[in-house]
Structure 1
Amino acid sequence: PIRGEDEKGPYVLYGLDSNDCPIKCRPLNDEAAIMSRIAAVRGDEINGAGAKYGLTGNGLRAYIFEDGSPDINHEAFYKIPGNSGSGSRIFHQSQTYFDSHAAHVSGTVSAGFNSNNGNATGMAPESELANRYIHDYSYAVANGATSSVPASGGIVANNSYSDISSQESYYGSTSRNYDSTMYGLRYFLLFSAAGNGNNSARFDMLYNVSKNGMNVAACDEAITDRQLDMSKIKRKDSSGMGPCDDGRIKPDITANGTGLTSVGSGTTGYRGMSGTSMSSPSAAGSAIIIQEMHANLNSGNIMIAALLKGLIIHTATDIKRLDNDTSKKEVGQDGPDFSFGWGLFNALAACDKIYTHHNDPTNLHLTEATLLENSTNKYSFVWDGSSPIRATIAWTDPAGTAKNNEDTTPVLVNDLDIRIYSPSNDVYFPYKFDDSDPNYQHIPATTGDNLVHNVEQIYIKNPGINGVWSIEISHKNSLTDGKQEFGLIVDGQRVSGNEISVSANGNILVNGEPTPLVDNHTDFESVAYNLGADLIHHYKISNIGDTNLIVKNVAVDDMINYSITQPADTNLAPGESTSFSLTYAPTDSGIHDAVVTVFNDDADETNFTFNITGEGVSAAIISDISLRKVLESSSAPINIKLNSRPPGDVTVNLAISGDADLTLPLSTFSFNITNWDTFQTVNV
C-alpha cells in the first residue's frame, strides 16, 4: 500500500472514490468517536477531547450478526486487565471462520484501548461481544436483554448485512422479523446499515427498514483540528436514503462511515473500510455507552429500547440545509429528512440528558410509561422562559404485515399521538411529511397528525408564553394487548434548583463548547485596530431553574483586546434574566482567542465557560482607481469599498485636487456592517 502523511497525520491510500479522488485511510475509529461525541464521554484521553464521564461499556454485551467472525484471539479483544478470567471478550461464537467484514465491524464496537496504539479503539472498548450468524433471531430471542439489569443478555445488536426482501425501502420479511424480535425484548435495540447501493443519490433506496430498529446512514469525515466540524458534514455518496414506501423517516441517524480503521486479520492486524457497514457499529457501540451511563446513575438499570431510541433521536445534532439548492440531495433539511434522518449521533448530549434527569428526577427529562387502551396520559411542566421546547415519544411497535415493493400502506400497528398545549391552550403537532407533494423528499418536514411513525417529535423554537405547558399522549383505534409502552424525552422545562443558561443573538451557548461561531456572537470576526475601532456583543444570563441564581462575576482571560460590562443584576429569581457585554477592541493585527467565564452558584456549572475569537486587521479603502483618461464631455467610473468589516457606520470622503475641470457628483460614501465589502460607484 501507498503510505504518506499530511496535515492531519499518517494515512494509507487504499483506493479512489466515485469522483476519482484518493481515499486516505486513517486510524479513524477514534475519529468516528470524535464525530459521535463518544470520545468526550468515555474514559480515554487519546483524542484530546477530554473524558467527561469515564465510560467504557465494561460488563455490557452486544450482538454482532455477521457471515463470519474476527479472530477470537486478536489483541483488540483481550480481557480487560484486572477483571477475572483471561482470553477474549468474544462469547457464544457461532462461526469460527475468519471474515474481514465481521472483524472490522466487531472492532468498531468493542476494540480495546490498546488497539493499534489506541487509534482503532472501539466505541465501547471494554464491552463484550456475542458473534452470531446474520439473521440468528432465535439466539437473540433466547439471549436478548429481558431485564432492566442485564447479566449476559445483549442490550444492542448490529447487523451490517441485508437481503433482497428488505432493499429499496419496502417493509419486507426481514424488516418484519426484526420488528417481531424487538417487540418481544423490551431492552433490545438493533442497529442496521442503510446500505451502500445508492451511488445515483436516489431517494427511497435503502435497506433494513424495520420500524423499531435504528437504520444508520453514513457521512464523510467532518473534523478540523481533532474537533467535530459541522460545516464539513456531507452524506457519503453511496449511503442509502429514504423515505420508506409507506412514508416513514429512514435512515434514523447518521454516523461517520468513511475510511474507518479497525480490526483486521490475524491477532494483530488492522485495516480500513468504508460504508454504512462501518457507521452502523459506530452507532451501536455508542449506544452501549449511553446505556452504561443510565445504569451507573440508576442502580444498574438500563433504559427500555424505546426510550434509548427516542433519546438518541432527540439529542441528535440536526444536519441543516447548507444552501438553498433543493436539487442537492446530499444536504439536510431543518428537522428530520431522508438523507440524514434525525441528524448526527451525539452521545455526549444523550449522556448529558441522563445526567440532568438524575439531578432533577421529578421533571419530564426521561420518562418510561404505558398507555392503556382508550386512555390519555397527561403531563405538565413549567417552561424555563428561554429555551426551545422539544418533546419526543418513541415506542416498540408490534410487527406489521410484510409488504411488496411500492406498497404505500402504513405498517404502523399501534398509532400513538403526542400533542403539546400552551398555557393559552394553543396546540402543537409533531413533525410529518406531506407525501401528497410529488417532490416532498426535497421539502422540509411540516407538522400535523402523524399516521406512519413510531417516533414522533414536537419542536417549538420560540414558545413565548410563560407558565404551565402540558403534554398529552393518546392513540387511535385499538392497541395490541390493550396497551403500549413508550419512552418520552422533554427539553425546555424549568429544572429543580437554580440552573444557568447563557445565550446571545437568540442562540443558547453550550458550557465548555470550544468552537466560536458568528451566529452566537462568540466570533467577533474582523475589526480594524488602526482606527481604534471596536465591536460590542451582548449576552443574556437566565435562571431556568426554580430557586434563585447568584451571578458572582464575569471574566475574560484577555483584558488587552477585550473588556466586559458586568451584569447589572446578580441575584436572579426563577425565570429572570440579566445581561452583560463584551467589547472587542484589538490593539494589533492577528487572531485574538480568549475564554469567558461566568462565575455563579449553579451546583454543576459554577464556572460556565465559552471561547471567543476575533481578528485585528488594518483598515484600508479598496478602489479600482488607476491612471485614467477622461475624455472631454465624458465620464469615468470609480468603485470604492472597505477591506474589513467596520464596527458600525463609516463615512469615506472623496475629493479631487489639481484639475478644476473634473467634477465629483458624489463625494461622501457610507458603509456599515452589512455593505462594507460591496463596491459603491461614482462617475467622475
Structure 2
Amino acid sequence: MRVYKVSLILLIAFPVLNTGAQLVSTYEVKPELRKADSDWMWLESTVDKIKAEEWAAVNHMPVRIDDGRTLAELVAVRDGKPVYIKTHNANAAISTGANLIRDVSPYNLDGDGVIVGVWDGGEVLTTHREFGTRVTDKDAVASHWHATHVGGTIAASGVTSSAKGMAPAAMIYSHDWTSDISEMTTEAASAPGQQSAKIYLSNHSYGYFTGWEDGTFYGFEDFGKYNSNARSTDIMVYNAQYFLPFWSAGNDRNDAGDGSHEGDGKYKDGYDTISDNAIGKNVMTVGAVSDAVSGGGRNVSRAGMSAFSSWGPADDGRIKPDIVANGVNLYSCDDDNNSDYTHSSGTSMSSPNACGSAALLVEYYKELFPPDGAMRASTLKGLIIHTADDLGNAGPDYSYGWGLMNTKAAADLLKDYAGGSVQRLKEGLLHETTNTVDTFTVAASGNEPLRITICWTDPAGPTQSTSDSRTKVLVNDLDLRVTGPGGTYYPFVLSYSVPEAAATTGDNDIDNVEQVLIDSSIPGNYTVEVSFKGSELAGDSQRYSMLVSGISSDSDTDSIPDFWEMQYFGSTTGALASLDSDGDGADNLTEYISGFDPTDPASVFAITTQEAGPDGGAPFVITWNAVEGRVYNVKLSNNLLYDPFAGNESLSGDLPYPADSFTDLVERVTSPVFYQVDVRLAD
C-alpha cells in the first residue's frame, strides 16, 4: 500500500497489485467427487457404446466411417436413432495475432511448459518430425490425419515454416474421443500451480450428426438444444474452474438436403445450426472465417465468414459461437508419414487455431505472476472475448460471436495489468448474504471506447428436452451496469426471434458473458456495478472475471492519470504530483485523489462542519465535501505526535460516496480528541 500524508486531516492511499491466492475449484477440495464423476461418465459412455454397437449389428449400420474426408463413429442410440460423433473439417497465426507475441520481444512466447489436451477421432502422430517428444499418446489407439492436423495447428515446431503451430513448444496430451468428458474430468486443472500435471485448456474439433449428413437426415432437434452433452461439459468445467475447453462450432450451414427436408443452410437461413457440447455455457465455441491476412500482415477486414461455419443462437438465445478464428485452407501436419503435411478447412481448424493461440496467454500469465500464476477459465474466456476484433454487425452477433481472436491485444491487457494497471482485470466473488454487489470506479481516458466485460463459469442448467425450447439455462444471473457522464449504460443483448438483427442494449438475463461498450466515453469517472438477480445464488456464491479497456493511462508514472493532467494542465505530463499549483494547501496528487480542481484555490477537500452534542460531547458530527467515485474513512486519536493515525482502526468503516458525514455516538472521556477523514479512489 502506497500512502501519502497530506494536509491537516487528509490521508490518501493507493491500492497495489495483489496476486494473492485464488480460491480453488470443487474438484480440488473434493478429489473423491472428481473420481466419482469421472467413473460415472466413463461407465455411462461405455454402456452407450456397447448398446450402440449391438443396435448397429442388428440394423446393419456402420460403427465407424472414415472416407479420408470425414471421420465418424457411432457412440449411442437415442430414441431409436443412431448418434454419430464426427470431425468438423471443411496463415492462421497472423489471423489471430499469435505471430505478434510468438517468439517476438518483449513477449517471447512459444507455449513452453503448457500442456494442451487434444481429444479427436484418433491420436496425434507422436513421431511426426514437428513434435519431437512433446506429444503423449494417452489412449494407445491408432493415429489419424485429422487429430494430427489439429495437433500441428496447435503445436508444430516449424520444421516446415508454413506449418508452424500457434504454440510451437507446447506439449500435447492426445486422446481419442471415447469417454472424453470422463477423461477431461480427470485431467482438468482445478487450481493454480498444476502446470506439470493437469491441463488448463483443450481442443475438441468434433460434434454429432445433426441435420443433413452425407445424404441422410438426422433431424434438426439438437440444433441449439442444451442437451445432456452440453450439460455434462458444463458440470465438469464448473467443478474444475481453471480449465477451458475449445469446441468447434460445426460445419452444418452448407449441408444440402434431398428435397424431403430443407437443407441445414435453408433451415432458419443458416441460424441455429450449432449443437451438443458446443452449446455449453462454459466452453469456448469457435467459428471459422477466412484468412485475415493482407500483404503478409494482419488485416481484420479480410476475415470473411466461411460458407460452412455454423451459426447460433442457442435455443435459449445465448450468443454462440463465442469467437471466430481462421478455419479456411490451413496447412498443417498429416499422418501418412513423419514428414507429411496437408491443407484442410473447417471449424475443426479454427478451434485449434484459437486454442493454440490461447496457450500463449496461459504461458504469459504464468510468467507475469510466477511461480504458479494461472487464470480461471472465466478469466481466459473473458479476456479473449473482451479483446476480440468486432466483425459483422456492430457488437456481438450469432455469426461471428464476439469477433476475431486478437492474441496480442489479450497479451497487452495482461501486460498492463501486471505493470500496475490493476483495474484492467479483476476476479471477484459475489455472495448471496455477505457480498451482494461489487462497485468499482474507473476513469475513462476519452481517447478510446470504454469497454467492460464480465464472464463467469455458471453452474449447469436444466437439460432442454424439446427442440427450440426457450427455457433459460442460465443459473446465476449476474448483472453489469455502468453509470457515468451520460447516464447508465447496459450490456449487449441479441434477438432470438430476429437473429440477423444488430445487437441492442438492455437487461441480459441469458448469457454468462456481459459487456458494456461506451463508444464515445467522456473523460472522467464511471461507476461499475456487478450484482445478481434474486436473493439466492446456486452454491451460495459466484466468482466472476472482469476485463476493462479505455481507462486512463499514466505516461509519466506519477500516479496521476493522463486524462486528468490533460484536462487541467493541457498535456499528459503537465502536472507535477508534489506541486501545489493553486496554493490551497493540497498538492496536485492530493487534488486528483480527493476529486478537486488543482487550478482553483477554492476547490479543495475539507471538513465543512463539525458539531458537538448539547454538552460539548456526543454525538459529534463531522461533514465534508464528498465527491463521486471516492471512499471515506474516519479515524480517531488522542494525540498528534508520532504519526498518530497510522495504526488506528477506522471508526466509520468504508463510507462510499454519496456519504459525506459521520456521527460519533461514543462519549469520549479522554481529552483532547482528534478526528481524521481519509479519502481514496473507489476500487
Residues 595-645 of structure 1 show CA distances to partners (whole Å, capped at 9, x for unaligned) of: xxxxxxxxxxxxxxxxxxxxxxxxxxxxxxxxxxxxxxxxxxxxxxxxxxx
The answer to whether 1:396 aligns with 2:466 is no
In structure 2, the partner of 1:678 is none
Which residue of 273, 280, 283 maps to 1:205? 273
Q: 1:570 to 1:305 in 2, by over 3 A?
A: closer
Q: Is the 8 A contact 2:242 2:377 kept in 1?
A: yes
Distance 1:434 1:215 in 2: 19
d(CA) in 2 for partners of 1:292, 1:167:
36
Q: Which amino acid aligns with 1:457?
A: Q
1:74 alignment partner, SS class? coil
Paired position in structure 2 for 1:58? 112
**Deviations 1:631-671, CA, capped at 9 Å, x for gaps:** xxxxxxxxxxxxxxxxxxxxxxxxxxxxxxxxxxxxxxxxx
Q: Deviation digits for residues 280-333 of structure 1, max 9, x if unmatched?
A: 0110111110111111111130111101100000000011xxxxxxxxxxxx10
Alignment of 1:143 with 2:200, yes or no, is no
Task: Determine if the alignment matches structure 1 residue 173 to structure 2 residue 218.
Answer: no
Q: Distance in 2 between matches of 1:574 and 1:129?
A: 52
Q: 2: CA distance between counterparts of 1:312 and 1:482? A: 28
Give the corresponding residue for 2:246: 191
Question: Which residue in the other structure is 2:316 paired with?
Answer: 246
Match of 2:346 in 1: 275
- In the alignment, what sits opposite 2:331? 261
Question: 1:547/1:147 Cα in 2 relative to 1: closer, same or farther (>3 Å)?
Answer: farther
Deviation at residue 414 of structure 1 after TM alignment: 0.7
- Which of 527, 531, 543 is residue 474 of structure 1 equivalent to? 531
Do the aligned residues in 1 keep the contact of 2:135 with 2:171 (CA within 8 Å)?
A: yes
* TM-score when normalising by structure 1: 0.63
Match of 2:377 in 1: 305
Q: Tell me if the contact between 1:498 and 1:547 (Cα under 8 Å) persists in the aligned partners.
A: no
Tell whether the 8 Å contact from 2:124 to 2:135 is kept in structure 1 after alignment.
Answer: no
Report how far residue 52 of structure 1 moved. Answer: 4.7
Q: Retained in 1: the 8 A contact 2:555–2:573?
A: no
Aligned twin of 1:127: 170
What is the correspondence of 1:76-475 to structure 2 with a 5 Å cutoff? 76-78=130-132, 88-114=133-159, 116=160, 118-134=161-177, 135-149=179-193, 150-164=195-209, 167-199=222-254, 200=265, 202-207=270-275, 208-265=278-335, 266-300=337-371, 301-319=373-391, 332-361=392-421, 363-374=422-433, 375-403=436-464, 404-422=466-484, 426-435=487-496, 438=497, 440-464=498-522, 466-475=523-532
Structure 1 residues 98 and 381: CA distance shift in structure 2, 3 A: same
SS at match of 2:357: helix
The question of whether the paired residues in 1 share the 8 Å contact of 2:553 and 2:561 is answered with no
> Which amino acid is 2:530 matched to?
I
The separation in 2 between residues aligned to 1:251 and 1:55, in whole angstroms, is 27
Contact 1:68/1:95 (<8 A) preserved = no
Matched residue type, 2:525: V
1:537 corresponds in structure 2 to none
Structure 1 CA distance for aligned equivalents of residues 480 and 207 of structure 2? 33
Partner SS state of residue 409, structure 1 = coil
CA contact (8 A) 1:183 1:396 kept: yes
Q: C-alpha separation between the residues in 2 aligned to 1:183 and 1:148?
A: 15
Question: Which one-letter code corresponds to 1:145 in the other structure?
Answer: A
1:35 lines up with 2:95 in the alignment: yes
2: CA distance, partners of 1:312 / 1:53: 17
Percent of residue pairs identical: 34
Which structure has greater helix proportion? 2
**Is this contact kept in 2: 1:198–1:206, CA < 8 A?**
no
Task: State the shift of 1:467 in Å.
Answer: 3.0
Change (3 A) 1:569 1:390: closer
SS in 1 for 2:206: coil
Alignment partners' CA distance in 1, 2:485 and 2:273: 43
Bigger relative contact order, structure 1 or 2 (CA pairs below 8 A, ≥6 apart): 2
Partner AA of 2:539 in structure 1: D
Structure 1: 5+ residue runs without aligned partners? 1-13, 16-30, 44-49, 79-87, 320-331, 501-541, 552-567, 576-684
For residue 495 of structure 1, report the CA deviation from its aligned partner: 3.4
Q: 2:543 aligns with which of 456, 464, 485?
A: 485
> Which one-letter code corresponds to 1:99 in the other structure?
H
- SS of residue in 2 equivalent to 1:186: coil
Counterpart for residue 621 of structure 1: none
Instruction: Mark the CA change 1:569 to 1:351 in structure 2 (over 3 Å): closer, same or farther.
Output: closer
Report what 1:67 is aligned to: 121
**Equivalent residues of 1:543, 1:574 under 8 A apart:** no
Residue in structure 2 matched with residue 535 of structure 1 by the alignment: none
How far apart, CA to CA, are the structure 2 residues paired with 1:333 and 1:385?
24
Aligned partner of 2:183: which letter? Answer: Y
- Cα separation, partners in 2 of 1:571 and 1:393, compared to 1, 3 Å: closer
Q: Is the 8 A contact 2:444 2:550 kept in 1?
A: yes
Q: 1:434 deviation in Å? A: 3.5
Is residue 385–residue 544 contact of structure 1 (8 Å, CA) maintained in 2? no
Deviation at 1:164, TM superposition (A): 4.8
Does the C-alpha gap of structure 1 residues 399 and 119 become closer, same or farther in structure 2, counting only changes over 3 Å? same
With over 3 angstroms needed to count, the CA separation of the structure-2 counterparts of 1:74 and 1:496, relative to structure 1, is same
Shift of 1:392: 0.2
| Residues 317, 495 of structure 2: 8 Å contact kept | no
State the TM-score, normalizing by the size of structure 2. Answer: 0.63
Give the aligned partner of residue 562 of structure 2.
544
Q: Could you list the per-position Cα deviations for residues 400-425 of structure 1 after superposition, in whole angstroms to 9, with x for gaps in the alignment? A: 1221321111100111011011157x
Larger % of strand: which? 1
C-alpha separation in 2, matches of 1:453 and 1:574: 45
Q: Which amino acid aligns with 2:279?
A: V
CA distance in 2, matches of 1:452, 1:268: 47
CA distance, structure 2, for counterparts of residue 256 and residue 167 of structure 1: 26
